[in-house]
Amino acid sequence: MLAATLTRGVKAGLVAGVVFALFVVLVANPLVVYADGLGHTGGAAHHGGGHHADGHHASIASMAISHGVSVASAALWGVLLGGVVFGVGFYFLEPAIPGSGATKSYILAAAGFVTVSGAPWLVLPPVSPGIEQSLATTTRLLWYGGMMVAGALTCLLSGYAYIRLSESRGRFVGVAGALAAFGLLAVPALLAPTSTTQGALPATLQSGIAGLVVFGQVLLWLALAATHAQLDTRAGAQVETSVDTSVTGD
């Protein structure tokens, strides 16, 4: 059973990884290249012709390698999330996830987004490449990991609150209690140190890139949920068919 659930999770991750990789190639990388060009405008004007040509070719090669790495990373990220969250995670947490059918896939995707990205971004919002941050790398990693743990615990508490309240006081109260649980994330967010940023890019462009990062992660989790829901529904239909066949003896 675990093997079948893990296989569906990996398949969902593969599809979502391809979607996310296409988003990186067609949307994210061109904007990052444009932003990088703004940050280095005028630098090449100080070089001679031969050196400029060599630097240009080296830059193209470096950019191609960078794009290849980012695309491969995007695809692998989708597969990793699919295997861990929708494979192992869904196998153990499925009975505790509210709803039924495809709803479970989308609720798990929402919880995954909050855990991996949403909660940490309350302390460390996404920033543009090349932007310097005041907090040390070690400090940022510790806070990011801590907020991931806080996000996961909050999601579990939210699910528990929904189940208990909906059973005793109705679905509306259950939904309200589940949403209220996420307010607890404001506590560590307020206690966290402020990370100031510094960079040469215009503020509007920085905001645009940050928004693009958020959109990309939402797209990834939606693709994971939609694909997993389809695979899970298909697997359930196959099980029902096999059971009916064994009962009727056809």
For 162-197, give the DSSP string. HHHHHHHH-HHHHHHHHHHHGGGGHHHHHHSPP--E
| pLDDT at 206 (0 to 100) | 85
Q: Return the biggest CA–CA distance within the chain.
A: 83
* Residue 224 contacts residue 74 (beta carbons within 8 Å): no
Domain spans of the chain?
A: 2-40+52-241
Mean pLDDT in each 10-residue stretch from start to end of the chain (250 residues)? 92 96 90 74 45 51 73 92 96 90 95 97 87 90 97 96 94 95 96 85 86 95 97 77 55
Which residue in the block uniquely carries the two structure tokens 């402020």?
Answer: 194
| pLDDT at 48 (0 to 100) | 47
What pTM was computed for the model? 0.85
Burial 72-104 (b: 16+ CB within 10 A, else e): eebbebbbebbbbbbbebbbebeeebbeeeeeb
| pLDDT at 248 (0 to 100) | 58
| pLDDT at 118 (0 to 100) | 96
| pLDDT at 204 (0 to 100) | 86
3-state secondary structure of 99: coil
| pLDDT at 44 (0 to 100) | 43
| pLDDT at 58 (0 to 100) | 52
